[in-house]
Structure formats: structure tokens, C-alpha cells
Amino acid sequence: MRKRLLRLMEEHQGEVMTSKEIADRASTRWTWSPTVVQIAMLCRGCKQIIEVGDIDITTALSRYRGKLWMYQELPESGE
């Protein structure tokens, strides 16, 4: 599951996405639909995916509070 998430985030490198956006994109590609909480937990556990902030969107019908994530290449070690 982590490898799939890393591949998905690598394809969108440099793009800041919410946990919900990542979950929505993953559900269209994978045979199962991950929850927003599952995506956030996976992102926290990956060194290549960094948290860049919080988001709070309120509309007349709903409210979404979540994290913003971005993929970042790890520097090569040993140099």
C-alpha cells in the first residue's frame, strides 16, 4: 500500500494535495478506496511525503479540515 501511494505521489511531484484529493485519486486507480484517515497515516509514515500545512474549507453544506501533503525526493546519502 505504501509503494502504491509513493508511486501516485511521485507522479504528482511538486503538487500540494489534501488527504482527500489523494484518496480520491487513489480510489480511481486501485481496486479499493482508501479512507482519508488511512491516507494521512500512510503519508505520515513516508519520509518522501512531507506535510506542508493545514486546510479548513467550510461550505454551506459541509466542512473539511485536513492536512496538505507534497512528495519530495530524498537526497542521496553517502555524498
DSSP assignment of 26-68 equals HHHHSSS---HHHHHHHHHH-TTEEEEEEEEEE-SS-EEEEEE
- CB count within 10 Å of CB 67 equals 19
pTM: 0.81
Residue 11: per-residue pLDDT: 92
pLDDT of 30 over the 90 cut: no
Q: What is the pLDDT of residue 79?
A: 52
Q: How far apart are CA 14 and CA 77, in angstroms?
A: 22
pLDDT in tens, 31-77: 888 898 999 999 999 999 999 999 998 888 888 888 999 999 877 76
C-alpha cell at 2: 505504501
Binning pLDDT at 50, 70 and 90, where does residue 78 land? low
Contact yes or no for 5/29 (Cβ under 8 A) = no
